C-alpha cells in the first residue's frame, strides 16, 4: 500500500500520529507499506554516483551472488551512504519504533542490484524459523527498509511481493528457498504460483518497509541499466547479528538516534569495503 503524505507532513518531513497508525497497521496486516519520494533527490543522486564505481569494482572482483546478473553488496559505513536521512530518517524511525520498540537496532547495511539480463529469483522469505517447531505466527521482529536509487518501473526488475498475510504464516513455514531447498511444512515456490502478487513500483528516494518474513522475489531487468536498491534491516533489540564495521570517529559524528540504532555493531574498526565481506 502507498500512503500519501499531507502537505504539512511533506513540509516538516515527519508523520502525523494518524499516518503512523495507518502505516503500522499496513505493515502488521498487509506486510508492507510505501511512502514515495521521502529522501531528498540530491542525497539520492550523490549516493548513486558513489555507488556505481563501488558496484563495478565489486562485480569485477566477486561476480554475481544472488542469481543471474544479480548482486547483493554490503555498503561501506561511510559518507554519502550514511547520511542521517538514510540511516535514521524520521519517517522510517516513527514506524520502526512503533513496531519493533524504541530500542530497536540496525544490523544490515547493503544493496540489491539486478543488472540488464537478470532473471527471476525463486519466491522466498528472508529468514528461517526462529522456532521451527511452532505452528503459530510470531509478532514482527525484523523489518526491511528498501530505498531505490533510480525510478523502479516494470521493465528494470522491480521487487515482486506476496502481501496480505505471507508474513503471518506459522513460524515453521518460513524458509529461504534461494538455494533450491524446500520447507516440508510449506512449499513456498509452488504455493506462490497460485496466489496474488504485485510489483513494487516507486520513484527514486521512496521508502519501502516490509516484514522480513514476507514472500518476495527479484524479477527480470529488461532495461539497459542496473536498478540499485539500498537495503537495511532493523530488528528488535535481541535479534540480528552485529557485523557492520564503524570507525570510532565516524560513530561519534552520528546523530544520537543513529548512534542508538548502530550501538551494537563493531565500533572502532576500519570501514569494511564491499569486497572484503
Domain boundaries, the chain: 30-276
Residue whose cell numbers read 520502526:
96
- Summarised one tens digit per residue, pLDDT across range 213-238 is 999 999 999 999 999 999 999 999 99
Question: What is the CA angle 220-226-230, rounded to 5?
Answer: 100
Contact 66, 178 (CB under 8 A): yes
Nearest residue to 206 via CA among 22, 29, 33, 20: 33
Q: What is the pTM of this model?
A: 0.96
Give the per-residue SS3 of 150-163: CCECCCECCEEEEC
From 204, 177, 202, 207, select the one nearest 191 (Cα to Cα).
177
Beta bridge partners of 64: none
Mean pLDDT is lowest, of 2-11, 50-59, 92-101, for 2-11
Among the listed residues 177, 94, 106, the one whose alpha carbon sits nearest the alpha carbon of residue 144: 106
* ∠ CA 32-142-254, rounded to 5°: 105
- Indicate whether 249 pLDDT > 90: yes
Do the Cβ atoms of 226 and 115 come closer than 8 Å? yes
1 — pLDDT class (breaks 50, 70, 90): confident
Q: Residue 35 and residue 148: Cα distance in Å, rounded?
A: 12
Alpha helices by DSSP H, listed for 65-204, are 84-87, 90-100, 188-192
Over range 205-210, report the average pLDDT.
98
**Whose CA is closest to 166, among 144, 197, 145?**
197
Q: Which residues pair with 2 in a beta bridge?
A: 34
25-43 confidence digits (pLDDT tens): 999 999 999 999 999 999 9
* pLDDT recorded at residue 123: 97
Question: For 263-275, what is the mean pLDDT?
Answer: 97
Interior angle at CA 229, CA 170 and CA 15, nearest 5: 75
163 and 32 Cβ atoms separated by less than 8 Å? yes
pLDDT, one tens digit per residue, over 137-166 is 999 999 999 999 999 999 999 999 999 999
Q: DSSP strand E in the chain: where?
A: 32-35, 70-74, 105-114, 142-148, 159-162, 198-199, 207-211, 215-218, 229-235, 245-246, 266-267
CATH 3.40.50.2020 fits 30-276, yes or no: no
Residues 6 or more apart whose Cβ sits within 8 Å of residue 236: 100, 101, 104, 141, 142
Amino acid at each position: 500500500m502507498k500512503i500519501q503524505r499531507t502537505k504539512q507532513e511533506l513540509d516538516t518531513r515527519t508523520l502525523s500520529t494518524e499516518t503512523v497508525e495507518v502505516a503500522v497497521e499496513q505493515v502488521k496486516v498487509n506486510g508492507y507499506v510505501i511512502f514515495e519520494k521521502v529522501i531528498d533527490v540530491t542525497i539520492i543522486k550523490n549516493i548513486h554516483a558513489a555507488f556505481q564505481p563501488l558496484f563495478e569494482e565489486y562485480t569485477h572482483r566477486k561476480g554475481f551472488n544472488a542469481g543471474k546478473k544479480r548482486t547483493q553488496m554490503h555498503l561501506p559505513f561511510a559518507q554519502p551512504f550514511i547520511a542521517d536521512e538514510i540511516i535514521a530518517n524520521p519517517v522510517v524511525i516513527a514506524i520502526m519504533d512503533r513496531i519493533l520498540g524504541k530500542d530497536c537496532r540496525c544490523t544490515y547495511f547493503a544493496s540489491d542490484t539486478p543488472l540488464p539480463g537478470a532473471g527471476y529469483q525463486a519466491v522466498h522469505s528472508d529468514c528461517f524459523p526462529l522456532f521451527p517447531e511452532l505452528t503459530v505466527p510470531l509478532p514482527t521482529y525484523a523489518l526491511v527498509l528498501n530505498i531505490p536509487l533510480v525510478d523502479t518501473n516494470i521493465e528494470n526488475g522491480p521487487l515482486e511481493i506476496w502481501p496480505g498475510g505471507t508474513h503471518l504464516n506459522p513460524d515453521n513455514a518460513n524458509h529461504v528457498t534461494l538455494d533450491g531447498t524446500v520447507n516440508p511444512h510449506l512449499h513456498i515456490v509452488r504455493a506462490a504460483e497460485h496466489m496474488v502478487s504485485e510489483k513494487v513500483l516507486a520513484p527514486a528516494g521512496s521508502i519501502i518497509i516490509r516484514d522480513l518474513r514476507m514472500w518476495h522475489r527479484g524479477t527480470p531487468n529488461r532495461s539497459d541499466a542496473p536498478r540499485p536498491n539500498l537495503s537495511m534491516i532493523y530488528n528488535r533489540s535481541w535479534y540480528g547479528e552485529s557485523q557492520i564495521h564503524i570507525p570510532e570517529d565516524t560513530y561519534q559524528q552520528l546523530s544520537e538516534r543513529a548512534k542508538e540504532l548502530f550501538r551494537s555493531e563493531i565500533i572502532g574498526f576500519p570501514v569494511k569495503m564491499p569486497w572484503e565481506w
